[in-house]
Structure 1
Amino acid sequence: MRIVELTLPVSDTHAVSAYFRDVLQLHVEDHKIKTGWSTLILRAAGKHPVGGVHLAFNVPDNRFADAMAWLRARTPLQHDRDGKDHFALESSWQSQSVYFTGPDGLILELIGRRRLPASSRTGVFHGNELTCLSEVGLPTADVPATRQAIGTRFGLQPLSTPSAEFAPMGDDEGLLILSDTRRRWFPEQKDLPNAQGIEVVIETRAGTSECHDAAQGWRVRAR
């Protein structure tokens, strides 16, 4: 599954555009941020609340150490309660991650996935090496029911064993992270999930369909 477009409500489109351009070194034009096959579209939040939104970007796993050093020099990293700022997962994830806080309290993540192709790049890391927008957090009051709806409409399966509070739907290239509305985001575990006004366009093998959560204000469409 690929996230090809994501519309993100923000408090200040100019300031958030500048962050993605100047801190993360991504290509920005007319409040649209391009990274690989993904486009992040910024729009004025209006009545929608900001904060508590989770987004992740894929990084070639063999470049992860360089990416982490690059990021650490540009912005503070998030830590868990034990002070860790680097998180490796085995089992079905086969990944390593680092988290940081973006504008409007975005919970951002760089993630290297071992099963994806390695990069031929060497030397100092640059933001243009981010390969795609790979995750978006979608809160729901009923994770099992939403998981079933997304599985039926988009043909997506959980990447890891789902629970009543958490279900990552998709694969290494793209995940819809279903989270219970009361489950705070890792690693700092202080922010409740929010996706009010978020619109996601994905590509799947299952064809076109749509799923939305009126109470939580998000919508996903496959094209």
Structure 2
Amino acid sequence: MHLKEVSLLATEIELLYEFYIKLLGFPSLYKSSEFISLKIGSSILNFSLNNNEKHLYHFAIEIPINLLEKSALWLQKKGLNLVKPSGKSTIIVHHEVWNAYSIYFYDVLGNLIEFIVRVDNNIFSDADHFGPDEIVRLSEVGTGVQDPVSSAEFLTKHFDVKIYDNGPQNKAFVCIGDSNGLLILSKTDRLWFPSSNLRAVKSKIIIDTEIGTLTLN
């Protein structure tokens, strides 16, 4: 499932512009006082202003397998602190079930961002450095729902999507899609790994994929 375009809510647009465009150098597709659109590899990421309540998400960005360590150095040179999982000696996380490796950091508003390499996708780069041009696409987007299992059942019944067999599935966590793109449904108030304080909240997400548009309110 290709996450062609993902639309999220945010309480501050200007701060996101300064972070993603000015600091990280992601290409800007459009910007106004109430909306920003970014190019994330072959995907588009949008943020719309909604300051009635706080909206925080977890999303992952796929990068080439051979650039994970270089991406960590790149982020650190930008002044960002990488999240080290509790009890771990390294910032690089090995997800054995998913056959993937990740690093994590927060954006300026507190969204939990993940750079992930998926070994099964076998994507490499000839570049000797990391930068926005080496990003592959949005790989995951997650939100909180009251009942992940029933939400997943609704989506698989009404849309041409499937539960991701290679991911952990339980009453608090269900993944929809495949290694090319995942919608992660987490039970509300569950901690997003590896954060010690960011919990899944119910926030609106619109995802445009090759099989249609998924909307979660």
- Please give the TM-score of this superposition, normalised by the length of structure 1: 0.85
Give the Cα separation in 2 of the matches to 1:209 and 1:86: 33
Letter in 1 for 2:112: I
Give the Cα separation in 2 of the matches to 1:163 and 1:201: 26
Tell me which residue corresponds to 1:215: none
Tell me which residue corresponds to 1:184: 191
Letter in 2 for 1:12: E
Letter in 2 for 1:76: N
How far 1:119 sits from its partner (Å)? 2.5
Say what the alpha-carbon RMSD is for the aligned residues.
Answer: 1.8
Tell me which residue corresponds to 2:126: 121
CA contact (8 A) 1:25 1:128 kept: no
How far 1:100 sits from its partner (Å)? 0.2
Letter in 2 for 1:154: D
Stretches of 4+ aligned residues off by more than 4 angstroms? none
Tell me which residue corresponds to 1:56: 60
How far 1:211 sits from its partner (Å)? 5.1
5+ residue gaps in structure 2?
31-35
TM alignment of 1:143-158, pairs within 5 A: 143-152=148-157, 153-158=159-164
Give the Cα separation in 1 of the matches to 2:55 and 2:143: 14
CA contact (8 A) 1:156 1:169 kept: yes
- 1:67 is aligned, of 67, 71, 77, to 71
Letter in 2 for 1:44: L
How far 1:118 sits from its partner (Å)? 2.6
How far 1:165 sits from its partner (Å)? 0.7
Letter in 2 for 1:105: G
1:163 matched to 2:170? The reply is yes
Give the Cα separation in 2 of the matches to 1:138 and 1:119: 29
How far 1:65 sits from its partner (Å)? 1.8
Partner secondary structure for residue 162 of structure 1: coil
Give the Cα separation in 1 of the matches to 2:202 and 2:131: 29
CA contact (8 A) 1:59 1:110 kept: yes
Give the Cα separation in 2 of the matches to 1:183 and 1:176: 16
Per-residue CA deviations over 1:50-90 (Å, capped at 9, x if unaligned) read: 23x11110011122121122122221101222254210112
Tell me which residue corresponds to 2:3: 3
Tell me the percent identity: 24
CA 1:2/1:195 → structure 2, altered by over 3 Å: closer, same or farther?
A: farther
Partner secondary structure for residue 4 of structure 2: strand
Per-residue CA deviations over 1:114-144 (Å, capped at 9, x if unaligned) read: 1123333232211221111111112111111
Give the Cα separation in 2 of the matches to 1:90 and 1:114: 10
Per-residue CA deviations over 1:142-168 (Å, capped at 9, x if unaligned) read: 111111122222322223241111112
How far 1:200 sits from its partner (Å)? 1.9
CA 1:180/1:162 → structure 2, altered by over 3 Å: closer, same or farther?
A: same
Partner secondary structure for residue 105 of structure 1: coil
- Please give the TM-score of this superposition, normalised by the length of structure 2: 0.88
Give the Cα separation in 2 of the matches to 1:136 and 1:192: 14
How far 1:39 sits from its partner (Å)? 0.8
1:34 matched to 2:39? The reply is yes
Per-residue CA deviations over 1:178-203 (Å, capped at 9, x if unaligned) read: 10112111112311113423322222
CA contact (8 A) 2:144 2:203 kept: no
